[in-house]
């Protein structure tokens, strides 16, 4: 254990990976809270899957594998995919979940086709794009972490700036609209922030598992508090905790994948929260029920 802690601060690779995982956990946990509260948990899944063809196209168009270029491609594609979902829901009778399913698989399918095409090309310098499928934390560099921090920081700043407007959008959008706030524009703003949160994590966790980091920290945090600010802060904290724990655990043995371990850590936090959180937790519920039953039982004996 002391060795692990020592490595966390002094081993370059582990330190970089842990820092990146922490940033990704904070950003996705924080912004994922809105998706969970708005019952759009699966939006993250659509965004991350829709990002894949963007990564491939960005590489095909520029020939560059610079993270910033690929992340930009991912962001544009993820954003377009989400706008398409919103557009389909608004202009047809197709429901949100169906629209999500369609767009997600179409974009992901195109992404896989493009990836295969890139891999079969003569110039075999391409290898490595498939790391975006399941993530490859070990390849992350200090400059990637700086990129992640900058993007995530901007997203979090915007969220804090528009705190009141986003709360209104999440709780009662129609009422917000009667107050004169452009609800559709706010919806697009929030979705854009979520897109940023997701592309920040793609390189580490991959498109397939990324949505878990959007949903899990927020669901865990919701169990512990009834205040929006606290919930969002907690979700960020849980995300960071899951990120760092996943990175550290994966460093303890060879060939343990970081991304999936981060997701498992986040899931463990959900499980713990669902069981032990006061008020909402299962254990707490059971204890209260037993206490009530015993009290009723006693009173029942006193009153014949």
Closer to other proteins by Cβ: residue 136 or 225: 225
Are the CB atoms for 55 and 73 separated by under 8 Å?
yes
CA distances from 280 to 32, 38, 217, 220 (A): 20, 19, 16, 11
Interface residue with other proteins, options 228, 233, 249, 264 (CB under 8 A): 228
Q: Near other proteins by CB under 8 A, which window of 98-106, 141-149, 158-166, 244-252?
A: 158-166
Closer to other proteins by Cβ: residue 2 or 180: 180
Site for other proteins, residues 229 to 248, rule: CB under 8 A: 230-231
Are the CB atoms for 231 and 218 separated by under 8 Å?
yes
Rounded to 10°, the helix 210-224/43-62 angle is 150
Site for other proteins, residues 166 to 225, rule: CB under 8 A: 167-168, 170-172, 174-181, 222, 225
Q: What is the C-alpha to C-alpha distance for residues 264 and 216, in angstroms, rounded to an integer?
A: 10
Closer to other proteins by Cβ: residue 6 or 227: 227
Are the CB atoms for 218 and 197 separated by under 8 Å?
no
Closer to other proteins by Cβ: residue 80 or 89: 89
Site for other proteins, residues 27 to 46, rule: CB under 8 A: 37, 39
- The least distance separating other proteins from the CB of residue 183, rounded to whole angstroms, comes to 10
Give the containing element (helix H, strand E) for 304: none
Give the number of C-alpha atoms closer than 13 A to the C-alpha of residue 2, restricted to the C-beta side: 0
Our finding on whether 91 is near other proteins (CB under 8 A) is no
Closer to other proteins by Cβ: residue 170 or 191: 170
45: buried, middle or exposed (CB in 10 Å: 19+, 13-18, 0-12)? buried
Binding footprint of other proteins, residue count (CB under 8 A)? 28
13: buried, middle or exposed (CB in 10 Å: 19+, 13-18, 0-12)? middle
Our finding on whether 278 is near other proteins (CB under 8 A) is no
Our finding on whether 54 is near other proteins (CB under 8 A) is no
Q: Which residues bind other proteins (CB under 8 A)?
A: 37, 39, 93, 161-165, 167-168, 170-172, 174-181, 222, 225-228, 230-231
């Amino acid at each position: 254990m002391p060795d692990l802690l020592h490595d966390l601060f002094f081993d370059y690779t582990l330190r970089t990976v842990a820092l990146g995982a922490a940033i990704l956990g904070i950003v996705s946990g924080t912004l994922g809270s809105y998706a969970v509260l708005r019952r759009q948990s699966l939006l993250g899944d659509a965004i991350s899957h829709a990002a894949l063809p963007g990564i491939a196209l960005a590489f095909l168009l520029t020939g560059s594998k610079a993270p910033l270029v690929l992340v930009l491609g991912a962001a544009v594609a993820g954003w377009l995919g989400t706008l398409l979902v919103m557009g389909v829901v608004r202009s047809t009778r197709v429901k949100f979940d169906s629209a999500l399913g369609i767009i997600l698989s179409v974009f992901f399918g195109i992404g896989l086709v493009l990836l295969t095409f890139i891999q079969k090309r003569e110039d075999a310098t391409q290898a490595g794009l498939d790391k975006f499928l399941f993530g490859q934390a070990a390849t992350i560099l200090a400059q990637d972490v700086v990129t992640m921090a900058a993007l995530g920081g901007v997203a979090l700043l915007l969220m804090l700036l528009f705190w009141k407007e986003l709360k209104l959008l999440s709780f009662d959008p129609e009422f917000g609209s009667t107050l004169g706030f452009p609800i559709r524009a706010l919806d697009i703003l929030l979705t854009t922030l979520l897109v940023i949160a997701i592309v920040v994590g793609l390189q580490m966790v991959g498109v397939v598992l990324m949505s878990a980091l959007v949903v899990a920290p927020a669901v865990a945090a919701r169990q512990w508090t009834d205040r929006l600010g606290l919930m969002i802060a907690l979700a960020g904290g849980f995300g960071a905790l899951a990120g760092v724990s996943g990175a550290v655990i994966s460093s303890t043995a060879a060939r343990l994948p970081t991304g999936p371990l981060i997701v498992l850590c986040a899931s463990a936090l959900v499980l713990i929260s669902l069981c032990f959180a006061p008020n909402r937790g299962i254990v707490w519920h059971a204890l209260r029920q037993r206490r009530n039953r015993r009290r009723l039982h006693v009173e029942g004996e006193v009153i014949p």
